[in-house]
């Protein structure tokens, strides 16, 4: 499974480096984050309990890697959202044979980081929300931009934020981010902590590590140098 995952992203990176044609339209590179305003609505803390956010913005390696460096995030798990449980596996999802998107389930402490802040990072650092069924070198609906609210309050906040970003003309193209019903199925172990375990992988170096640098620069109060991990490290 890991060999297939590495092969997929290596092929995508090779195509990018070789100038192989991708679907038409401008692509915002990872070196070009967009400064977005705070959301007009946020979700207030609901007591001492932890909350969950589920976001999809392209290959889950990078999405997970960014949120692992956000202070207040307790865990960030790569997985699949938007489809059924019986085919929520990498071989089918990456081939575009299912309705899933590669997504990340973020468990966070709302007293330390708000849902609105997670969305702000999502729209500014994590990905380009104007790309339709693609993200950078990865093409297909499995790489779509999507939000899977886990509460009615999250749905309201996400809907209002997209409307505000559109009304303010923050991006030069329409926002393609979909708001979809909640679902999440964890991905295979080989995909968890991928950026942390493979920091020199060509795909990570080109597409994802710059995003962590953008997070540190644009959100210094939210940045944590020591990431949270899915897997326990020996010793």
pLDDT at 196 over 50: yes
pLDDT at 211 over 50: yes
Residue 204 CB burial class (10 angstroms; 0-12, 13-18, ≥19): buried
pLDDT at 17 over 60: no
CATH number of 2-16+49-218: 3.30.1060.10
Neighbouring C-beta atoms of residue 67, cutoff 10 Å = 28
Whole-model pTM: value is: 0.88
Average pLDDT value over all residues in the chain: 88
Question: Strand pairing partners for 103?
Answer: 79
Q: Are 6 and 78 in contact (CB under 8 A)?
A: no
Element (H, E) at 161: helix 152-167
Q: How far apart are alpha carbons 69 and 232 in whole angstroms?
A: 16
Q: How far apart are alpha carbons 130 and 147 in whole angstroms?
A: 14
Q: What band does 45 get if pLDDT is binned at 50, 70 and 90?
A: confident
Residues belonging to the active site: 59
Domain definitions of the chain by residue range: 2-16+49-218
Q: pLDDT tens digits, residue range 71-126? A: 999 999 999 999 999 999 999 999 999 999 999 999 999 999 999 999 999 999 99
Structure-block tokens of residue 28? 């915002």
Q: What is the mean pLDDT of residues 133-158?
A: 97
């Amino acid at each position: 499974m890991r060999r297939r995952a590495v092969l997929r992203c290596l092929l995508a990176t090779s195509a990018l480096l070789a100038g192989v044609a991708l679907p038409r339209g401008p692509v915002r590179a990872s070196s070009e984050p967009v400064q977005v305003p705070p959301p007009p609505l946020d979700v207030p803390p609901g007591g001492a309990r932890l909350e969950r956010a589920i976001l999809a913005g392209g290959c889950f390696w990078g999405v997970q890697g960014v949120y692992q460096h956000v202070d207040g995030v307790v865990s960030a798990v790569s997985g699949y959202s938007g489809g059924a449980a019986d085919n929520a596996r990498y071989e089918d999802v990456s081939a575009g044979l299912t309705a899933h998107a590669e997504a990340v389930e973020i468990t966070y402490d709302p007293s330390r980081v708000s849902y609105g802040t997670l969305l702000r990072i999502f729209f500014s650092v994590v990905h380009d929300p104007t790309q339709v069924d693609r993200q950078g070198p990865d093409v297909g609906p499995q790489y779509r931009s999507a939000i899977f609210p886990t509460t009615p309050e999250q749905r309201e906040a996400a809907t209002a934020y997209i409307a505000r970003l559109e009304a303010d003309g923050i991006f030069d193209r329409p926002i393609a981010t979909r708001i979809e019903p909640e679902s999440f199925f964890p991905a295979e172990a080989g995909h968890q902590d991928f950026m942390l375990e493979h920091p020199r992988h060509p795909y990570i170096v080109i597409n994802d590590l710059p995003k962590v640098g953008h997070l540190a620069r644009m959100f210094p109060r939210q940045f944590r140098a020591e990431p949270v991990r899915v897997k326990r490290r020996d010793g």
